[in-house]
Chain A
């Protein structure tokens, strides 16, 4: 952990070297992600509600998913660009160092400008809260916290799977985008609107609904069962298969040579 903080501060300092660029980039990302929010807003203004979720409630959902996603983007950046690490031999250097592989991939690439999206999502959340009708008791705050943090973990696992595929192909596989970027894009609305089958898929196979739809129901008082607070925790189980997949890939890794 101490070592991670060391990496963290080094990268923070190096990325802050160009302050103007850094701030412009963050600003750019904030504006960029407003396109998504605007599309949700435009749709919701026209239709008023979707599956019983109002404008504010949908925006609440949008902002939570966006926050979870951006957390994974900041911290799992190393896995996002993993194919490049394999290609340019940086991964070989990682392998010869006496620290855990995953730790090093994580620690050596932290992308702070992606926090821009997080900031924007916080703003949307603040905008959505008054209209959403949520009474913020402790259990609700806990639910919100679990949704964001465990959500970050699920997206993180997806990035690990994406990276593991690269062991076999050396190239990034575009179809994983449907789960990472797609999870965020389609997570703008509660996953239930895509129909029962998609919801089941997102519950049992890729547990994105566990961090979004089910706890959202609790947050909005649609269900009273406190079990729903902890559905995001169950989604953490997804880390196991993705980690195992990474190990399998790692075992059959052959260097691309120099």
Chain B
């Protein structure tokens, strides 16, 4: 455990170096969130009755999403796993006295956390001081906020486990990202539009899929869209899917490593 934490720390500090890139990314994310809120407010004006969330909940949803994009997004991290496999550098990793899955997992988490650390504060600060329709609010009470604090890491773990399974397909295909898996996860986790906006049969199905355990859960818990028993149920669902994806990933890894052939020297 200690060595994986050390890996996390090295990687985390390394990630904090890219401050200029973070600054450039910030303005994009901020504008993105702003435009989204403008679009939703047009829909809200058109027909408030058809709106499945409270508007203020939606605003918090969008700002938290933008602020913690790096924590929950199914893309943008873990490119080095693919590179390691394609380039054959995995043979070094195999020689180390460490479990490769755990190693990749802790590195991916470190990447996510360091990116989010650099970006979240400015976005959150601005989102809190904006004038009313755009202003982000705190959760209704401390309990709700603590539920968010439980749900957020779980969502990050779940999405990371999912991404690792996706990256591991490189063992078989030797090509880059499987964009379909990424888009599927992004869409069904509420990355395009929040899950409550899905029309009925879709919504009910989407809410029990593993993707619901990703960003969908913490964002809706923070905003207050899911509270009390719903939120507790949501966290159980997250635990369940995380365990499943983790177990599957580890098995998959063991299976793939048996057949790895590195060419050349």
Contacts and interface: CB of A to CB of B under 8 A. Distances in A.
A28 B179 contact: yes
A35 B186 CA distance: 9
A220 to B, nearest CB: 17
A180 to B, nearest CB: 11
Interface in B170-193: 175, 178-180, 183-184, 186-187, 192-193
B31 A46 contact: no
A194 B37 CA distance: 9
Nearest to B188: A35
Pick the most buried of A35, A171, A198: most chain B CB atoms within 10 A of its CB.
A35
B39 A194 contact: yes
B175 A31 contact: no
Nearest to A30: B180
Contacts of A88: none
B21 A28 contact: no
B46 interface: yes
Given A29-B179, A182-B31, A182-B32, A46 B197 contact: yes
Interface string B23-59: 0110110011001001100110011001010000000
A171 B21 CA distance: 9
A200 to B, nearest CB: 14
B199 interface: yes
Contacts of A32: 179-180, 183
A134 interface: no
Interface string A154-179: 00000000000000000101110110
Interface stretch (A1-9, A36-44, A136-144): A36-44
A237 B175 CA distance: 41
Contacts, number: 82
Contacts of B52: 46
Interface stretch (A47-55, A118-126, A203-211, A242-250): A47-55
Given A32-B183, A182-B32, A182-B35, A47 B199 contact: no
Nearest to B37: A194
Contacts of A38: 187, 192
A49 B46 contact: yes
Given A50-B43, A194-B42, A174 B28 contact: yes
B199 A194 contact: no
Interface string A173-216: 11101100010001001000111001000000000000000000
B259 to A, nearest CB: 22
B28 A31 contact: no
Contacts of A43: 43, 193, 197
A45 interface: yes
A47 B40 CA distance: 11
B202 interface: yes
B198 interface: yes
Contact of A198 (B32, B38, B47, B50): B38
Given A38-B187, A182-B31, A194-B35, 13 more contacts: A31-B180, A35-B186, A38-B192, A39-B187, A39-B192, A43-B197, A46-B199, A51-B42, A174-B28, A175-B24, A175-B31, A178-B31, A193-B42
25 contacts: A21-B175, A29-B179, A31-B180, A31-B183, A32-B180, A35-B186, A38-B187, A38-B192, A39-B187, A42-B193, A46-B199, A47-B46, A48-B47, A51-B42, A173-B24, A175-B27, A178-B27, A178-B31, A182-B28, A182-B35, A189-B42, A193-B43, A194-B35, A195-B38, A198-B38
Interface of A: 21, 28-29, 31-32, 35-36, 38-39, 42-43, 45-51, 171, 173-175, 177-178, 182, 186, 189, 193-195, 198
What are the 7 closest A-B residue pairs judged by CB atoms, nearest first?
Answer: A193-B42, A39-B192, A174-B24, A35-B187, A194-B38, A178-B31, A175-B27
Interface of B: 21, 24-25, 27-28, 31-32, 35, 38-39, 42-43, 46-47, 50, 52, 175, 178-180, 183-184, 186-187, 192-193, 197-199, 202
